[in-house]
Structure 1
Amino acid sequence: MRTQVAIVGAGPAGLLLGALLAKSGIANVIIEQRSADYVLGRIRAGVLEQTTVDLLDAAGVAARAHREGLPHDGIDLCFGGERHRIDLHALTGKRVMVYGQTEVTRDLMEARAAAGLPTIYEAEDVQVHGFDGAQPHVSYRRDGVEQRIEADFIAGCDGFHGVCRASVPVAAITLHERVYPFGWLGLLADVPPLHHELIYVSHERGFALCSQRSHSRSRYYLQCALDDRVERWSDDAFWDELKRRLPAATAAELTTGASLEKSIAPLRSFVAEPMRFGRLFLAGDAAHIVPPTGAKGLNLAASDVGFLWQAFDEHYRGSASGLDGYSDRALHRVWKAERFSWWLTSLMHRFPDGGTFGARMQQAELEYLVSSRAAMTALAENYVGLPMV
């Protein structure tokens, strides 16, 4: 098989890139190691920046998001038993949309299938070859038969544990990483959200986040130890701990119910640079990871894809400058989002080695933040998403 761009990974990054390339008339094939049901079953966050919504619009897949997504004009920061609203729209003129990543993936998958664009699921032993030369290709095995896709370029959208970044020579790549000494215990339930906007909680017992997926489905998180286990947490234990971290009046408004899913996710900050290696381009989690505190993971993947789509479009129109500048352009935005996610994580969580000094510094920072329009504006600008430049 021959195509112009071979995309490894059928998560939202790979699917969005495929949709945008197709809009530009650029042939592409997506190769995915997992089944379509597995990809669709992954539970992820769902706070979308306007730039992400704009890219979904450009791909022609945003109609359901506009119908069912929940625009949010602000967030609440809760500390010291009190809640403080950060008015994102008043401070920046922008808002975010709450729409689950699972739903974004579903929309992209259905649009790709309807358009008859090729996606190969359950591809075994996927490997990338020749990206340091003029004839890259992707090999894989399907139903016991070895297959090969030749392409002009390979886009590595296969996540943190994927084969694309792992295939780059060690000497050609620099990795930056910080692993945080805690995780997030998440619970999904079909109960009305506690509040119509997100509530971020800083508490002596640890961080908490009250989020949502729709008017009837809620997602809640608790900071937990890295060695914690989901099996240790009954639904009742989760709800009781969440109530302890909320102000009494807010906790009294909480609707509880049976969990649909519970999981624990570790937190890390990670960047691989550069993001281009000959004819191989990394995008999304293959190139960087952010702690979920700042809601930047999916949005960074989307902006990578936006830059890469523009670069491929320019290439096939006769200009190489876009591809040559892709890595620097993407990393310029990546590092700013990494900084914001690291800062918000450091501000809102309890660190095992922080001591009383660390706790008081967090308190002073939070008190300053909610009393300064300049500080609130800086938070709001980053939260709604910095421009793609």
Structure 2
Amino acid sequence: MPRRTRVAIVGGGPAGLLLALLLYRAGIDCVVLERRSRDHVLSRIRAGVLEQGTVDLLRLAGVGARMDREGLVHEGFDIAWRGEMLHVDLRGLAGGKTVTVYGQTEVTRDLYDALDAAGVPIVHGAEDVQPQDLTTETPFVTFRTEDGERRLECDFVAGCDGFHGVCRQAIPADQIRIFERVYPFGWLGLLTRMPPVQDELIYAHHSRGFALCSLRSPLLSRYYVQCPVGDRVEDWSDERFYDELQARLPERAAAQLQRGPSIEKSIAPLRSFVAEPMRHGRLFLAGDAAHIVPPTGAKGLNLAVSDIHFLSQALIAHFKEHEDGLLDAYSATALARVWKAERFSWWFTSMMHRFEDDGGFGQRIQEAEFDYLAGSRAAQTALAENYVGLPHL
């Protein structure tokens, strides 16, 4: 590993790896520091719905071949309400744009393969990572591996280390502002090697709570049910999960549910979170290090990719054209898109979930929201445009 690099990337998830690959393609050296092992990173079960812009950027980075072969292009999805289905025609409503179902794990694997082939240094097991001297022209990162204490000098630090990472914490408290909403429920997810209920996703609103039928492939299904935030995975047997899922689906969809043993089960709390600004000196935040969205709108991974689009362009302009306008504008540019995605994810979450404390008024508002959506092509167009992803402007 070199002692100096142009960009030190903290975090070896898809955001950090994609940034490293885009910089490599532009001839800019970098080093990726990841606390966990590669096997652990590849074991994470995460998002699977890719926006059109995410698909396009992965292709541009040269890692779209397997995604194009194995990914499932979805032209729409269904919203289940009062036992009926509303079909949202993404292609027809969003100017021909679609989404692609391709798991985050597979995106990460493709990025690893490309970076290995390129010889880009990825340091796993990097403990006690500390970005330092961030407001000077000579920042550096210290960390520890099994070989001892290390120091990596750099021009910039990219904080792609997630919500619980160290990079956001390296910004003084009086120089960062946090916006947050924590939701009073979580998502219990189950992955199983069984055919999905149908070829497209089903988002279901029910008096018992929200449910989602998703998939990773024609033989790999991912299901979710809304659950109390204090529940434990151990409280939910596979049988209980499937019973609850089936109760929340319309009769036609419930009849197609095929039960199988779970490969993985986990509970994720839901929150909306934004940290502003996304820059401190020579540190730039990207992805979950700067923002979290509820998974309802499938925006988490896509927002991270959006950040990397803006940040990679800015760094390339700095090193190749000696132009810092994009770097100076990075935080404002990224946050403009982040807040639109936060709004959409909050809205979709608010409409589709059961809120125990909202009472009858809240339920009537949800019903009016859905009725308006079902009867308005303009409302469906707004939903479709946000779902496929707003442009990377």
TM-score normalised per structure 1: 0.99
Deviation at 1:144, TM superposition (A): 4.8
Q: Which residue of 2 aligns with 1:65?
A: 67
For residue 103 of structure 1, what is the amino acid of its counterpart? E
Correspondence list, 1:338-377, <5 A: 338-377=342-381
Write the deviation string for residues 312-362 of structure 1: whole angstroms up to 9, x where unpaired. 011012101010000000000000000000000000000121112211211
Q: Which residue of 1 aligns with 2:254?
A: 251
Write the deviation string for residues 134-166 of structure 1: whole angstroms up to 9, x where unpaired. 100011111151101100000000000000000
Give runs of ≥4 in structure 1 deviating > 3 Å: none
Q: Which residue of 1 aligns with 2:48?
A: 46
Matched, 1:226 2:226: no
Q: Which residue of 2 aligns with 1:326?
A: 330
Give the whole-Å Cα distance in 2 for the aligned partners of 1:294 and 1:362.
17
Q: Which residue of 2 aligns with 1:20?
A: 22
Q: Which residue of 1 aligns with 2:108?
A: 105
Q: Which secondary structure state, in structure 1, belongs to the residue aligned with residue 155 of structure 2? A: strand
Q: Which residue of 2 aligns with 1:240?
A: 243
Give the whole-Å Cα distance in 2 for the aligned partners of 1:94 and 1:213.
20
Q: Which secondary structure state, in structure 1, belongs to the residue aligned with residue 5 of structure 2? A: strand
Give the whole-Å Cα distance in 1 for the aligned partners of 2:47 and 2:8.
27
Q: Which secondary structure state, in structure 2, belongs to the residue aligned with residue 105 of structure 1? A: helix
TM-score normalised per structure 2: 0.98
What percentage of aligned pairs have identical amino acids?
Answer: 64
Matched, 1:309 2:312: yes
Q: Which residue of 2 aligns with 1:29?
A: 31
Deviation at 1:48, TM superposition (A): 0.3
Give the whole-Å Cα distance in 1 for the aligned partners of 2:360 and 2:246.
23
For residue 380 of structure 2, what is the amino acid of its counterpart? M
Q: How many residues are matched? A: 389
Correspondence list, 1:95-134, <5 A: 95-134=98-137
Give the whole-Å Cα distance in 1 for the aligned partners of 2:167 and 2:79.
39
Which of 166, 176, 181 is the aligned partner of 2:179?
Answer: 176
Give the whole-Å Cα distance in 1 for the aligned partners of 2:61 and 2:250.
43
Correspondence list, 1:63-212, <5 A: 63-92=65-94, 93-212=96-215
Q: Which residue of 1 aligns with 2:391?
A: 387
Give the whole-Å Cα distance in 2 for the aligned partners of 1:187 and 1:124.
31
Deviation at 1:365, TM superposition (A): 0.9
Correspondence list, 1:4-15, <5 A: 4-15=6-17
Give the whole-Å Cα distance in 2 for the aligned partners of 1:118 and 1:132.
25
Deviation at 1:88, TM superposition (A): 0.5
For residue 261 of structure 1, what is the amino acid of its counterpart? E
Q: Which secondary structure state, in structure 1, belongs to the residue aligned with residue 259 of structure 2? A: coil
CA RMSD after TM alignment: 0.7
Write the deviation string for residues 106-160 of structure 1: whole angstroms up to 9, x where unpaired. 1111111121110000011111001111100011111151101100000000000
Which of 274, 278, 289 is the aligned partner of 1:275?
Answer: 278
Give the whole-Å Cα distance in 2 for the aligned partners of 1:89 and 1:2.
47
For residue 381 of structure 1, what is the amino acid of its counterpart? E
Q: Which runs of 5+ in 1 are unaligned?
A: none
Give the whole-Å Cα distance in 2 for the aligned partners of 1:252 and 1:75.
18
Q: Which runs of 5+ in 2 are unaligned?
A: none
Deviation at 1:363, TM superposition (A): 1.1
Write the deviation string for residues 174-223 of structure 1: whole angstroms up to 9, x where unpaired. 00000000000000000001111100000000000000000100000000
Give the whole-Å Cα distance in 1 for the aligned partners of 2:310 and 2:289.
15
Write the deviation string for residues 215-237 of structure 1: whole angstroms up to 9, x where unpaired. 10000000000111111111111
